[in-house]
């Protein structure tokens, strides 16, 4: 599929797809056996009137940033949440839109579990963490948080469109969009719906090992095909890193049991080498011998925003639904995230100057 064709031809379409807007969509011989055949045959043709409404809604949003990943479980939603917290703490007005329909993690990571969406005469109202940070997610719409969302593509796309045209954000400096992993219907839809409103670009989150980077290359390829700028790649979980005093120390006995030696070792260090208690220990969790995300970015000619270590305190902050910047507990990961966010903001400022904004 050529870069200009994505609006009419789905990624998983048959070879000679006539295009979703064609009068023969879902009806021609080329459509036989295509997974999109039924949806194309019944879908309305011609320009989508809802796109005008979306453009009007998004007119009050200055910057729109997608957060993507090639695989699940790489910390994409954690990054989206902490990026939003950080921008709000800088006095920006921020919206966080969770379009991971089948796995909405954002309500948990923002401490908003159990909240519901309210409707006003202006539309759906976001759920606010604080005055500077509003959130919208399907997670607020589920009567039972353990209930699986088993939806086909058209229904998912319908909800994404509804989020974009019906949610009243007001004036926003940044809208951060947390997308599901991979390159599926949701990704095509969000780019298609927002294209006329101006998307700043996408941040891609990965882990250092090749099994993740292989899929990130596909994600970057997707961005290029749909004309979506890659703002940069973040290498998350870049080695386990935490103060030595926060480790637990074990000894394996002759019978194979684990004996906790933490109290003895910390007491010994405090007495014999107290300076070691302030040392930060680091070890690789994932194999990065092939160069990790940094090398991949160099090869693909895209920005590398930086590395975030695997910090148990950051994981705990996400579990508790709080910002890692609100205290000094995340003293390993918070500075790394801050450097990445500062780099992103500097990049945005340069881009605006070059564009004459």
Contacts of 230 (CB under 8 A, 6+ apart): 201, 202, 204, 220, 223, 224, 302, 303
Q: Is 76 annotated as a binding residue?
A: yes
CA-nearest of 200, 147, 146 to 172 is: 200
Residues 316, 236: Cα–Cα separation, whole Å: 16
Q: Is 77 annotated as a binding residue?
A: yes
Q: Distance of CA 95 to CAs 175, 180, 205, 313, Å?
A: 5, 17, 19, 25
Contacts of 294 (CB under 8 A, 6+ apart): 235, 304, 307
Q: Is 338 annotated as a binding residue?
A: no
Q: Is 71 annotated as a binding residue?
A: yes
Residue with tokens 């401490």: 111
Residues 30, 45: Cα–Cα separation, whole Å: 18
Q: Is 279 annotated as a binding residue?
A: no
Decide the pairing of beta strands 118-120 and 123-125. antiparallel
Residue burial 179-194, b: 16+ Cβ < 10 Å; e: rest: bbbbbbbbbbbbbbbb
Q: Is 306 annotated as a binding residue?
A: no
Q: Is 297 annotated as a binding residue?
A: no
Contacts of 112 (CB under 8 A, 6+ apart): 106, 127, 129, 135, 140, 321
Q: Is 120 annotated as a binding residue?
A: no
Structure tokens at 297: 């970015």
CA-nearest of 156, 179, 155 to 96 is: 179
Q: Is 103 annotated as a binding residue?
A: no
Q: Is 73 annotated as a binding residue?
A: yes
Q: Is 40 annotated as a binding residue?
A: yes
Q: Is 301 annotated as a binding residue?
A: no
Residues 147, 63: Cα–Cα separation, whole Å: 33
> From the annotation, which residues make up the binding site?
17, 31, 34, 40, 70-77
Q: Which residue positions form the known binding site for ATP?
A: 70-77
Binding residues for [4Fe-4S] cluster, by number, are: 17, 31, 34, 40
């Amino acid at each position: 599929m050529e870069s200009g064709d994505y609006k009419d031809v789905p990624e998983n379409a048959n070879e000679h797809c006539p295009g979703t807007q064609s009068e023969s969509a879902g009806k021609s011989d080329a459509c036989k056996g295509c997974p999109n055949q039924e949806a194309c045959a019944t879908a309305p043709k011609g320009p989508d009137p809802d796109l005008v409404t979306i453009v009007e809604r998004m007119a009050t949003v200055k910057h729109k940033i997608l957060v993507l990943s090639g695989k699940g479980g790489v910390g994409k939603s954690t990054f989206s949440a902490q990026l939003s917290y950080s921008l709000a703490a800088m006095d920006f007005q921020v919206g966080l839109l969770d379009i991971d329909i089948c796995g909405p993690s954002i309500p948990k990571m923002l401490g908003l579990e159990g909240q519901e969406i309210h409707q006003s005469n202006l539309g759906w109202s976001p759920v606010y963490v604080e005055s500077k940070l509003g959130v919208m997610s399907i997670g607020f719409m589920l009567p039972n948080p353990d209930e699986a969302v088993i939806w086909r593509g058209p229904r998912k796309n319908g909800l994404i469109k509804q989020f974009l045209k019906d949610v009243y954000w007001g004036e926003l400096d940044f809208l951060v969009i947390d997308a599901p992993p991979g390159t599926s219907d949701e990704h095509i839809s969000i780019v298609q719906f927002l294209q006329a409103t101006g998307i700043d670009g996408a941040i891609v989150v990965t882990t250092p090992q090749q099994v993740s980077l292989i899929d990130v290359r596909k994600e970057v390829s997707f961005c290029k095909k749909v004309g979506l700028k890659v703002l940069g790649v973040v290498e998350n979980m870049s080695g386990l890193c935490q103060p030595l005093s926060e480790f637990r120390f074990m000894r394996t006995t002759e019978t194979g049991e684990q004996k906790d030696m933490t109290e003895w070792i910390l007491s010994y260090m405090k007495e014999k080498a107290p300076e070691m208690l302030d040392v930060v220990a680091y070890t690789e969790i994932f194999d990065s011998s092939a160069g990790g995300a940094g090398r991949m970015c160099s090869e693909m000619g895209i920005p590398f925003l930086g590395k975030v270590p695997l910090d148990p305190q950051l994981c705990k902050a996400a579990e508790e639904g709080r910002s890692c910047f609100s205290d000094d507990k995340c003293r390993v990961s918070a500075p790394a995230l801050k450097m990445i966010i500062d780099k992103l903001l500097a990049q945005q400022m340069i881009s605006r100057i070059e564009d004459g904004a």
